[in-house]
């Protein structure tokens, strides 16, 4: 083997290791969002319903409500033709109905604001917002300006981005 070829192989290995290491770290980051409800189902909510995470975090939605099925559904044209409220480069995601103790995971790798809802309980303002990364990221996409495809009550249920970034987690209990 020539010296030049050996050097190329070493460089190649180094570049590979550099790329691989952040990917492994990102895969380890996991945040949980619970679906909760009162015993008789008068109130249902995501906990926390405002969440800030780093780019590349996995978020696991888990149904901790023994009395109800819930979904975590991104606002996106591919999901029931809703107006998009997640970054443009992000893929649509929908957990479908989760029975009690069932869960669903999504990897959030595009920086920006993700709004989602529970299919049967959107009108009860069972919605949430995840802020991925920070506005200083050049790829950042802020909250959707759309107000036509969503009710005023639901819009008001999304915590403001600056509040989420400040507290990292915002719960319904905080707002009450």
Which residues contact Cu ion by CB under 5 A? Answer: 44, 70, 118, 121, 126
For residue 16, the minimal CB distance to Cu ion (Å) is 44
For residue 46, the minimal CB distance to Cu ion (Å) is 8
For residue 71, the minimal CB distance to Cu ion (Å) is 7
Residue closer to Cu ion by CB (options 74, 126) is 126
Residue closer to Cu ion by CB (options 8, 99) is 99
Sheet with 50-53: strands ordered across: 73-74, 112-117, 127-132, 50-53, 169-170
Residue closer to Cu ion by CB (options 71, 144) is 71
Residue closer to Cu ion by CB (options 114, 133) is 114
What single DSSP character describes residue 53?
Answer: E
Whether omega before 9 lies within 30 degrees of 0, making that bond cis, reads: no
Question: Are the C-beta atoms of 168 and 132 separated by less than 8 Å?
Answer: no
Name the token pair of 11. 């460089």
For residue 59, the minimal CB distance to Cu ion (Å) is 16
For residue 114, the minimal CB distance to Cu ion (Å) is 17
Judged on CB neighbours under 10 Å (0-12, 13-18, 19+), 1 is: exposed
Angle CA(70)–CA(26)–CA(115) in degrees, nearest 5?
35
Residue closer to Cu ion by CB (options 65, 110) is 65
């Amino acid at each position: 083997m020539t010296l030049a070829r050996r050097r190329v192989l070493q460089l190649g290995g180094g570049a590979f290791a550099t790329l691989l290491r952040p990917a492994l770290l990102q895969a380890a980051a996991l945040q949980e969002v619970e679906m909760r409800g009162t015993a008789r189902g008068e109130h249902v909510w995501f906990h926390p319903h405002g969440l800030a995470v780093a780019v590349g975090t996995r978020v696991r939605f888990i149904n901790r409500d023994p009395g109800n099925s819930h979904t975590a559904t991104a606002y996106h044209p591919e999901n029931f033709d809703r107006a998009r409220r997640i970054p443009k480069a992000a893929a649509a995601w929908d957990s479908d109905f989760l029975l009690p103790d069932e869960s669903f995971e999504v990897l959030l790798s595009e920086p920006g604001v993700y709004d989602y809802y529970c299919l049967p309980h959107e009108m009860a303002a069972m919605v949430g917002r995840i802020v991925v990364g920070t506005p200083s990221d050049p790829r950042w996409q802020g909250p959707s300006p759309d107000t036509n495809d969503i009710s005023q009550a639901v819009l008001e249920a999304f915590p403001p981005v600056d509040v989420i970034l400040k507290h990292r987690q915002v719960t319904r209990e905080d707002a009450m």
